[in-house]
Amino acid sequence: LLTGDQKIEDRTERLPPGQRRVTDWPVLDLGLQPSIPLEKWHLTVDGLIENPVLLSWEDLNAQPAFEDVSDIHCVTSWSRFDNYWEGVATAHLLALVKPKAKARHVIMHSYDGYTTNVTLEAFGAADALIAYRWEGGPIVCQHGGPVRLVIPQCYFWKSPKWIERIELVEEERRGFWETRGYHNVGD
């Protein structure tokens, strides 16, 4: 059926423009894959918040569990559908640390030195999580285990592997790829 009058914004295609679907899971990073033993792993949340925290692996696992199924879109043109993630909702983390009124942006720092930035709103999206499981098992090191971020509404460079620190700030600061020409929003 050709209606001829369908507006472009009405399109509901799941694959973004220029993407191809893959069923494997490519590995992309800076080439350093830090291995962090669970007893040494920790996540710092600091900056413009009322309750700065330093979470151990046990602390993270004691938080309410959240699960979500989402698609991955990497800007190098592959998309991977229906990834089942388990972890802690970023919305829950924000409720725990209580952002101050001035907080607007989130800078995420990883154990390999990688950084990336999103708005506080994008960070706290209803489907975003601090993930420690994928498809029912632990996240392997090459995909950012033991713990990575997953922000499904953004391209995948906004989902840091080996997350170490989440910093809330007022003024935006661009991360590794954002200072090298990648789109600042990447939604």
Interacting residues toward ligand MTE by CB under 6 A: 25-30, 74, 110, 112, 114, 143-144, 156-157, 159-162
The answer to the question of residue 157 lying near Mo ion (CB under 5 A) is yes
The answer to the question of residue 134 lying near Mo ion (CB under 5 A) is no
Residue with tokens 């990447």: 186
Nearer residue to ligand MTE within complex by CB, 99 or 165: 165
Question: Which of the stretches 14-22, 45-53, 152-160, 166-174 binds Mo ion when contact is defined by CB under 5 A?
Answer: 152-160
d(CA 185, CA 45): 22
**Beta carbon of residue 153, minimum distance to ligand MTE (angstroms, whole number):** 15
Question: Which of the stretches 22-30, 82-90, 96-104, 132-140 binds Mo ion when contact is defined by CB under 5 A?
Answer: 22-30
Q: Could you check whether the bond before residue 26 is cis, i.e. omega within 30 degrees of 0?
A: no
- Quick one: what does residue 144 bind among Mo ion, ligand MTE, none, with the CB cut-off 5 to 8 Å set by partner type? ligand MTE
What lies within 8 Å, CB to CB, of 87 at 6+ separation is 65, 66, 67, 129, 130, 131, 132, 133, 147, 150
Given a contact cutoff of 8 angstroms between Cβ atoms, the answer to whether 86 and 60 are in contact is no
Question: Which of the stretches 56-64, 69-77, 125-133, 138-146 binds Mo ion when contact is defined by CB under 5 A?
Answer: 69-77
d(CA 185, CA 154): 8
**Beta carbon of residue 115, minimum distance to Mo ion (angstroms, whole number):** 14
The answer to the question of residue 74 lying near Mo ion (CB under 5 A) is yes
DSSP helix/strand/coil, 158: helix
- Quick one: what does residue 95 bind among ligand MTE, Mo ion, none, with the CB cut-off 5 to 8 Å set by partner type? none
Residue 107 CA, distance from chain mean position: 11
Q: Under the phi-then-psi rule, with left for phi > 0, alpha for psi from -120 to 50, and beta for the rest, what region is 40?
A: alpha
Nearer residue to ligand MTE within complex by CB, 41 or 99: 41
* Alpha carbon distance, N-terminus to C-terminus of the chain: 31
The answer to the question of residue 91 lying near Mo ion (CB under 5 A) is no
Pairing of strands 115-119, 105-110: antiparallel
Q: Which residues bind Mo ion (CB under 5 A)?
A: 28, 74, 157
